[in-house]
Chain A
Amino acid sequence: MKAVLVIGLLLMLTGFYGLMTRRNMIKMVLSVAITEVGLQMVMITAGFIRGGTAPILTEDITELASFVDPVPQALVLTAIVIGVAVNALMLAFIIRMYGKRGSLDVRDYTDSKW
C-alpha cells in the first residue's frame, strides 16, 4: 500500500509541475486533474489497515479488524464527483474564452490581471 502512496504523491508532484510550467489552458486543466487523482490515491491510503478488505459486510462476518476504514473512501467518492464537476466547468470557461479570442495560451488573457 506504500506503493499507492508513493504513486499518488508522484502524480501530485507531476500535476504541480504541469501547473507551474504549462501555459496552454487545457494542459493546465489536465494538470489539475492529475493532481486530483494523486490526492485521491493519498486519501485512500490514509484509511488503509494492514490485511484489511473492502468495507462490505457479508452474512457470516464477525471480525471487524479485517476491514479498512470506510470514512476516507466515502470522502474520496465526494472528491471525485466534485473534481469532475470543477474540471467540466473549467473546460466550459476555456471553450468560451477560445470562442472570444481564438487562443488557448493563458498569457493572451491579461485583461483582468491586476
Chain B
Amino acid sequence: MIKRALIFLVLAFFAWQFLLMVTGWEGLSGLGEIARHYMEKGREELGAANIVTAIVVTYRGLDTLGEVSVLFLAAAGIGFLLGAGRLSRKQDGGNAGGLENEKTRRKASEILETGSDIVVPAIAVFGVYIFVNGHLSPGGGFQGGAVIASAIVLLFLSHPFYSLNHGVLKVTESLSGTVYVGLGLLGLILAGGFLDARFLPVGEFGRILSAGAIPVIYSLIGLKVGAELVGILEQMRRPS
C-alpha cells in the first residue's frame, strides 16, 4: 500500500514538472548561435545539403565515433554473454538443447519464402542507397545500416536454417571501423582536424560525389552499423 502511494507520488511529481514544461513551452524564436553557424557555413565549408549529416559526420564527428564505439561495445558484450552460454552447454556433453531447437524450428511457408527472396535484395539495395545519399537527403549511415539489418531479419524469418558467413561479417565490421578512424586521422593530417572531411574536394553542391569525405565516412559507418546489428541478431537467434 505504501509502495503504491509512493509510486503515485513520484508519478504525480513528474506529471507536475511536465505540466510546467508544457505550459511554459513556446518553441524557439530563431536559430541559436551554433545552429546559425552550421546552417550558414555548412554549405560552403562542407558542401553537404543535409545539415544534420554535416553535424553528425564532421562538426561533431568525435561524438559519432563515440556512438559507433558504444554500439560496438554493446555488440561485443552481447557476443560475450550469449556466446559463453553456448560454450558451457557444449561442455555438458549433451546436444539436447540444439536438437530440440532443430525440431521446433520449421520451414517457412512458401509465400513468405518466395516473397522474401524477391524483397530482401531490394531492401538491402535501398539501405545502401540511404547511406550513400546521406549527405543529400534524409538518412545516413545509421539509418541505412538499420535497413540492411532489417533485410537480414526477413531472411532469418523466411530461411530458418540459413547460416551467415561470420568471416564476411567480421571482416566488414573491423575493416570499415579501421578505415573510418584512418580517414579521421587523414583529416587531422591533411585538413583542419580529426574527422575533418575536407581533405577531399568539396565538389559541386548536390552531387553524389561531393561534400568531401562525408559520403565515404557515412558509407563506412553504414556498413559497420549494418554488420554490427546483423551480428547482434545472429547471436540472439541462436539457441541458448
B52 touching A74, Cβ below 8 Å: yes
In the bound complex, CA of A13 to CA of B18 (Å): 9
Pick from A5, A64, A86: contact of B22, CB below 8 A.
Answer: A5
Interface check B45, CB cutoff 8 A: no
Pick from B11, B77, B138, B205: contact of A16, CB below 8 A.
Answer: B11
A5 touching B21, Cβ below 8 Å: yes
The tally of residues in B whose CB lies under 8 Å from a CB in A reads 56
In the bound complex, CA of A82 to CA of B75 (Å): 11
Interface check B232, CB cutoff 8 A: yes
B240 touching A95, Cβ below 8 Å: yes
Interface check B2, CB cutoff 8 A: no
The tally of residues in A whose CB lies under 8 Å from a CB in B reads 47
A64 touching B236, Cβ below 8 Å: no
List which A80-114 residues lie within 8 A (CB) of chain B. 80-82, 84-86, 88-89, 91-93, 95-96, 99
Interface check B142, CB cutoff 8 A: yes
B52 touching A77, Cβ below 8 Å: yes
Q: A13-B11, A78-B64, A99-B85 are in contact. Are A70 and B35 (CB under 8 A)?
A: yes
Q: In the complex, how many residue pairs between chain A and chain B have their CB atoms under 8 Å apart?
A: 139
Interface check B56, CB cutoff 8 A: yes
Pick from A20, A21, A67, A89: contact of B78, CB below 8 A.
Answer: A89
Minimum C-beta distance from B55 to chain A (A): 4
Residue of A nearest to B50 (CB): A56
In the bound complex, CA of A12 to CA of B56 (Å): 26
Pick from B7, B75, B77: contact of A21, CB below 8 A.
Answer: B7
Please, which residues of chain B bring their CB within 8 A of the CB of A57?
A: 42-43, 49-51
Which of B22, B27, B34, B236 is packed against the most chain A CB atoms within 10 Å?
A: B27
A65 touching B14, Cβ below 8 Å: no
Task: Name the 3 nearest CB pairs between A and B, nearest first.
Answer: A85-B74, A92-B78, A9-B18
A sample of 9 cross-chain residue pairs with beta-carbon separation below 8 angstroms, ordered by A number, consists of A17-B11, A48-B27, A67-B31, A70-B51, A71-B35, A74-B55, A77-B140, A78-B67, A93-B81
Give chain A's interface residues, CB within 8 Å of chain B.
Answer: 1-2, 5-6, 9, 12-13, 16-17, 20-21, 45-50, 54-59, 64-65, 67, 69-71, 73-74, 77-78, 80-82, 84-86, 88-89, 91-93, 95-96, 99
